[in-house]
Amino acid sequence: MTNKALKAKRDLYRIIDANLNRSREGLRVCEEMTRFVLNSKALTRELKAVRHSIYGVIRSGGAGSKDLALSRDPEGDCLRQSRFKSEMKRRTFADIFAANIERVKESLRVLEELYKLADVKSSVKFCGLRFKVYAIEKKVMKRLG
């Protein structure tokens, strides 16, 4: 493999790794909202199922966890220190849930697109997960008000 091809693969894996982490972290925050604020076993299980499905997609196609971890470059990330004022203006559980579910949806969309380069079957699975998240979001937002 040429240096250019190796760099492209590493760049792809960096993007995938960052968005896998972002989606799972966001889901975990949302799970905590449904578990401890809404006290909803059903919604918590739905979110947890999506999070675990993401792990399943990773295992079934494309890059392995080791490849993804080795592609990380946190020191070289040009936005690792950035913070946005809007992140500090959350006032309610609904605000926190909404911000994190948006993060999940956006990262699943990135994964859907980028996995077209790594494993098309996984891309289709990420699309399906994104639509599951849309449905869960609607249920939760009705309850959070």
State the chain's mean pLDDT as an integer. Answer: 88
Please count the CA atoms within 13 angstroms of the CA of 99 that sit on its side-chain side. Answer: 13
In a domain, 4, yes or no: no
In a domain, 81, yes or no: no
Q: In total, how many domains does the chain have? A: 1
pLDDT tens for 18-43 read: 999 999 999 999 999 999 999 999 99
Q: What is the pTM of this model?
A: 0.86
CA nearest neighbour of 30 among 95, 110, 108, 107: 95
In a domain, 3, yes or no: no
The DSSP call for residue 81 is T
Supply the range of the domain harboring residue 37: 9-69+86-144
* Sign of torsion over alpha carbons 56, 57, 63, 66: negative
